[in-house]
Amino acid sequence: MQLFCSGVSDVGRVRTNNEDSFRILEPQNLFVLSDGMGGEAHGEIASALAVETIVKYCMDSDDDSSSTFHGGDHSKWSEKTKRLESAVHLANDRICLSAQEHPEQRGMGATVTAAWIDGSRLSIAHVGDSRAYLLRAGNLQQLTTDHSLVAEQVRRGILTPVEAERSEMQSVLLRALGANAKIEVDAEEHVLFPRDILLLCSDGLTRMVTDPEIAGTLQAETDPEKAARRLIEVANEGGGQDNITVVVVRVGADPHTWLSWLRGKKTKS
C-alpha cells in the first residue's frame, strides 16, 4: 500500500518543555510515539529512550529472523507484531535501568503507542494513554485502550464519560513504561484498506479535542502534515494544557485495483 504520513509535536501553551517524542521511519512504515512523565525526573528522557529503543530493536531484528521475543504468548501474532511487542518490553527495561543508574531520573516514565504497517496489516503495541485511532469511511474508531484510572472507572460504570473528562485524576495511569520492572503490553493487529487514516497522538490532543473534531479535521485536510498541524492548532485553541504530538498516516488508493482501473478508463473516454 502507498502511505502518506507526517508528524508534528508542540509544547502547548502551559508547559515549558516538551516531554513527547516520536519517530517516523517511512521506508519501514514504522511509527512510534511516546509521552514522557516525571517533570523534574526527566520525562523527556524516558520518552526519548522509549522511542529510540523501539526503533533500534525493530530495525535490528528486521534483519535478523533469529531475534528473541520478549513478553507473553506470541503464537497468534505476525513476526512484526511480535517484534513490536518485544521492543516495548525492552523499552521498559531500558527506562527502569536508566532510572536505577541515575538517581535524579527516578520516578520518570512514559506512555508508548507504536504502529508498524506491513502491506495491508497494521501491527500495534501500546502502554498508557497515548492513543491510536483509525478513520474509515467517516467513522473514527479508537484502536487502543487507555490504561488510566478514569478510563478503568468508566469501563466499570463508576464514572460516566462526561465525568471522566472533568476528573482531576485524568493523569493517573495504571500502566506506564518505567513504573515497574515487568509491564503488560497490549498488542493487536488490524487490516487496512485504501483511504483509511491512522492517527497516533498523545493525550495533549485528546484532552483538548473531541473525537468528532478529530474526525472532521482528518476528513477536511487531505494532506497529512496540514491535518497534523491543524489538530495541534485546535488543541492549543482549546487551552493547550499539555504537550501535543500527532502522527497522521493516510493510506493511498491502490492504483492496481479494478475499480481504479475502471475510473481511469472512464476518465480517458
Say what the pLDDT of residue 65 is: 52
Residue 186: all three cell numbers together: 497490549
Q: How confident is the model at residue 261 (pLDDT cuts 50, 70, 90)?
A: very low
User: In the beta sheet, which residues pair with residue 135?
Assistant: 140, 197
Higher-pLDDT residue of 116 and 164 is 116
The vertex-251 CA angle with 217 and 235, nearest 5°, equals 25
CATH number at residue 148: 3.60.40.10
Residue 223: all three cell numbers together: 494532506
Mean pLDDT throughout 149-156?
A: 89
The structural domain count of the chain equals 1
pLDDT digits (tens, 9 = 90+) for 186-229: 999 999 999 999 999 999 999 999 999 999 999 999 999 999 99
Say what the pLDDT of residue 67 is: 53
Mean pLDDT throughout 164-188?
A: 91
Q: How confident is the model at residue 174 (pLDDT cuts 50, 70, 90)?
A: very high
Those residues whose C-beta lies under 8 Å from the C-beta of residue 80, and which sit 6 or more positions away, are 58, 116, 118, 121, 123
Say what the pLDDT of residue 131 is: 98
pLDDT at 62 over 70: no
pTM over 0.75: yes
pLDDT at 262 over 60: no
pLDDT at 1 over 90: no
Those residues whose C-beta lies under 8 Å from the C-beta of residue 167, and which sit 6 or more positions away, are 150, 159
CB atoms within 10 A of CB 178: 31
Domain that includes residue 73, residue range: 3-268
